Structure 1
Amino acid sequence: MQKPDSLIFDMDGTLWDAVDTYAYSWNLVFNEMGIDKTITRDVLAGMVGMEGKKVIEILMPEFDHDKRVAIYSTVNDRRHNLIREKGGILYPGVREGLKQLAEHYPLFILSNCAKGIIRQFIDWAGIDDLIKDELAHGVNFMPKNHNIKLLMDKHGLQNPVYVGDTAGDGEQSRLAGIPFVFVSYGFGTTDDYDLKFDDFTSLVQYFVNL
């Protein structure tokens, strides 16, 4: 692979696992609203990386669109505080690895999450000084390939790579015209990648030594 000029990271399943906190936020809001429904970790883990619109269609087929959006908005409001309190699990080597990578590349985070969640993650993980910029699906409700191009244009990136953990991440990278680096320890599987790593430390060593 040609040496990239920047690394753009997916968040959930790539840098951390916060599915338990996400599930808790759903169930908290359902309970508050008197909705007899429980979301399990397994169900939510299978949806990591999906755009919010698709998630709420699957999770709440019994409600109309406006009701789904209203519930999802409340869930995301709760999530801001819950991430501060409960956080998630950083994958091994992520904090130290980002520190090493930031000495060699501008680092970005781009996720299909709601607006504000990436910032909550950055603050919780204590990596603000390592991340040059971030962009969430919830800012403009556009697909990842569009938002990758926005980051490229905004920062003048000529040769970025996208690092993610799902087949969807690979598809969106292709649509954006950039290489896809797959991390196999996350929530998805795919055979369509330019590079694959089974742990974050191996990824760091590769790009630091490239």
Structure 2
Amino acid sequence: MKFDGLILDVDGTIWNTTSIVAKAWNIAIEKNFPSVKRVTAEILKGQFGKTMDLIADNLFPELSREQKDYLIQRCADEEQKALLENEEDIAYPSARKTIEEISKKIPVFIVSNCQSGYIEVVIEKNRLENFISDFECFGNTGLEKSENINLVIRRNNLKSPVYVGDTQGDFEACEQSKIPFIWASYGFGKVDQNRCFKTISNFGELKNIIL
């Protein structure tokens, strides 16, 4: 197939922030609701890919809606600070190089269920400013991933895009948007690969599919 756009997920696809984020979220929990159970990198791997309100429901069930919303925002604040300060390369091998190479042939986009400001951090920390044409997220729109995928498709007049993600939720969003899904099997989730357009075991394999 010839594609006119590559749309990427972030966590579990481009990079793995879970260890850094777990420490940051625990700082926020300790500051604001110390009775709430702390999180771990493994716990977050099971939550990343969901919308922030759903993650708050899953991790902070004892809190009220108002308290959940407040705490998840404080977690996001601490997370952004920690990621901006981080100097370790947490991108998957060859991710930046591959994105750069693909962007020379077709435009590359990002769609995530993350909070506002997060994709900007991803782009900055991975030096992707010249390679990402557009992006959208739940934090900006309040919409489900399939709807944000459709926004990017319409804004950029895409006729044959493909999405790369690592979770069942990513797969289902692509089904709803009626676009092919490439499963990043090295990420956080499990997907029936027989139902996927393609499966990659490392990010660099995208070149063989896209180019």
**TM-score of the aligned structures, taking structure 1 as reference length:** 0.95
Report the equivalent of 2:141.
140
Aligned pairs for 1:1-210 (under 5 A) are: 2-36=1-35, 37-86=37-86, 89-191=90-192, 192-208=195-211
Task: Give the total of aligned pairs.
Answer: 207
Q: 1: CA distance between counterparts of 2:33 and 2:111? A: 34
CA contact (8 A) 1:6 1:160 kept: yes
CA contact (8 A) 1:116 1:136 kept: no
**SS of equivalent residue, structure 2 residue 131:** coil
Q: 2: CA distance between counterparts of 1:180 and 1:62? A: 36
C-alpha displacement of 1:206: 2.5
Between the aligned residues of both structures, percent identity stands at 31
Which stretch has the larger CA shift, 192-201 or 31-40?
31-40
**TM-score of the aligned structures, taking structure 2 as reference length:** 0.94
Structure 2: runs of 5+ lacking an equivalent: none
Q: 1: CA distance between counterparts of 2:29 and 2:168? A: 30
C-alpha displacement of 1:189: 1.1
Listed one character per residue, the Cα deviations across residues 93-149 of structure 1 (whole Å, up to 9, x for unaligned) are: 101111110111100011111010010110011111000011111111111110111
Q: Counterpart of 2:158 in structure 1: which amino acid?
A: L
Listed one character per residue, the Cα deviations across residues 58-97 of structure 1 (whole Å, up to 9, x for unaligned) are: 1001101000001111111222221111266100110111
C-alpha displacement of 1:34: 4.9
**SS of equivalent residue, structure 1 residue 90:** coil
Q: Counterpart of 1:127 in structure 2: which amino acid?
A: L
Would you identify which runs of 4 or more consecutive aligned residues in structure 1 move more than 6 Å?
Answer: none
Structure 1: runs of 5+ lacking an equivalent: none
CA contact (8 A) 1:185 1:199 kept: yes
